[in-house]
Amino acid sequence: MNFFDKLNEAIVQNQSILFVGLDPNPEMMPVGYKSQDIMPRLWDWLQFIISETADKVCAYKPTLGFYEALGIPGLELLHKTLAAIPSHIPIILDAKHSDLNTSTLFAHTVFTEWNVDAITLSSYAGQDHVAPFLVYPDKAVFILCCTSNPTAIKLQHYPTDESPFYLQIVKESRTWGTPEQLGLEVGTTKSEVIARIRADAPERIIMTRSIWAEGNNINQILAAGLNKNGDGLLIPVPQDMLSREDLSKQVLSLQEEINRAKTEINLDASSCSVWLPNICLLNQHPLQDLILQLYDIGCVMFGNYVQASGAVFPYYIDLRKIISNPQLFNQVLKAYEDILRTLKFDRVAGIPYGSLPTATGLALRLHCPMIFPRKEVKAHGTRRVIEGEFYPGETIVVVDDILISGKSVMEGAEKLKSAGLNVEDIVVFINHEQGVMNRLQENGYRGYAVLTISEITETLYTAGRIEREQFLALKTEE
């Protein structure tokens, strides 16, 4: 399970967007721990924090610097602390790592040996520093873009308050990794700073810190930082609360206060936004509005995105947002349907997991039965490879979201064929091109696509949505 899914499961299970800093700071430790040796006292305190909050928070954030300051015993304490955190709750290692030369080795250590789920990084060395952490597809990074230190204002707000450096970090870092891989760490006492960052990064997780320094109104922080779906924001448990004997009660009260405020904010927001085009082109693509909307809501993003294989693409496609936008989802289904009505088949099959909502919607629109090949076969129950009712000899049309190499969709098709089904046609939403349709044909399949990546980029460039440099970068890829 990747960090993004693990975090969301913890949020849902504990009904909380709170996280706890697990910092062995002797100055913050309660006086009640009587052992003469400081290390056992710190360990007892950290265990107490975890036991009192494990059912009320969505993540833990140990700060590496506190453990390093205690020397070798401190690192031993870190390993004990990591092991004590329940496995279903994600761990965000607050490292602020900033050394380019050690990033590859450090990423391997924290993600494969320490098994943390995410890490905080400094942005100053750029994408080269972040990339070694992004090749771990199930992990995530949080880029520090803003701190609350008063003396940092001269740097963070340079050159002007209207165009500050911290917003440049936000804009640039969005091109480094996907929303599931890369979030933002924001230290501030000002809700307007969070609001500006949210406006520039509507799709990113924002992990806040220092928000309690001036006794801020949590409603203002939530209103500024929550995304249009009412999530995407992580709130720290105040440090001084962690020294309270009634910690569980205090965190529960804060959790309830935040949830009430979230509910009020979400009720005030529109449940379904409507997108309208703002241009008119003479020689427009027949699906121009669909393409522009995909870009405007963040389904199509441009930058240098590191893939799990280590390859770097000049764009990233995230079609999972479509299902949260009924207006757009309906257009997507209609575009698929126009192709499917030209084909002959008995059932439609979706490839897990990305295209299952699409396949379900198409089955309803076409009044056609749906099946799907399992991504993995369960070790219990029926152990079926194919879910749904079908009969050998039937013809199946396969639908998928993005066609890059063709490997996953052909593997799914082969599973269907192994059950005695006929598969000849594969329909996808976006074709990455690069000869992949020829690859399908060589393996005995006819491929169809609603859109190609070149159609998308040419339309976006003509409409002024992307710069010439971005357009040329994609033309080079073709």
Per-residue pLDDT of the chain (478 residues; tens, 9 = 90+): 789 889 999 998 999 999 999 999 988 888 776 556 889 999 999 999 999 999 999 999 999 999 999 999 999 999 999 999 999 999 999 999 999 999 999 999 999 999 999 999 999 999 999 999 999 988 999 999 999 888 988 899 899 888 899 999 999 998 898 888 899 999 998 899 999 999 999 889 999 998 887 766 888 999 999 988 788 999 999 998 998 989 999 999 999 999 988 888 876 655 555 565 666 665 678 888 889 888 888 888 887 777 655 677 888 888 888 888 877 888 899 999 999 999 999 999 999 888 999 999 999 989 999 999 987 655 444 457 899 999 999 999 999 998 888 998 999 999 999 999 999 999 999 998 889 999 999 999 999 999 999 999 899 988 888 888 778 777 655 5
pTM above 0.85, yes or no: no
**Is residue 401 annotated as involved in ligand binding?**
yes
Options 3.40.50.2020, 3.30.750.200, 2.60.40.10, 3.60.15.10; CATH for 287-476 is 3.40.50.2020
Edge-to-edge strand order for the sheet containing 206-209? 59-60, 18-20, 233-236, 206-209, 182-187, 140-146, 118-122, 92-97
Token look-up 């391997």 returns 108
User: Looking at this protein, which amino acid is placed at residue 258?
Assistant: I
> In the prediction, which pLDDT does 32 show?
72
**Is residue 378 annotated as involved in ligand binding?**
yes
Strands (E), 57-205: 59-60, 92-97, 118-122, 140-146, 182-187
Neighbours of 440 (CB within 10 A): 22
> What are the residue ranges spanned by the domains of the chain?
3-270, 287-476
| Inter-CA distances, 27 with 42, 72, 238, 379, Å | 11, 20, 15, 51
Neighbours of 310 (CB within 10 A): 10
**Is residue 260 annotated as involved in ligand binding?**
no
CB 202 within 8 A of CB 222: no
**Is residue 403 annotated as involved in ligand binding?**
yes
Options 3.30.1780.10, 3.30.300.30, 3.60.130.10, 3.20.20.70; CATH for 3-270 is 3.20.20.70
Catalytic residues: 96
Q: What is the 8-class DSSP label of residue 63?
A: B
> In the prediction, which pLDDT does 379 show?
47
Decide whether 3-270 matches 287-476 in CATH topology.
no
**Is residue 298 annotated as involved in ligand binding?**
no
CB 448 within 8 A of CB 424: no
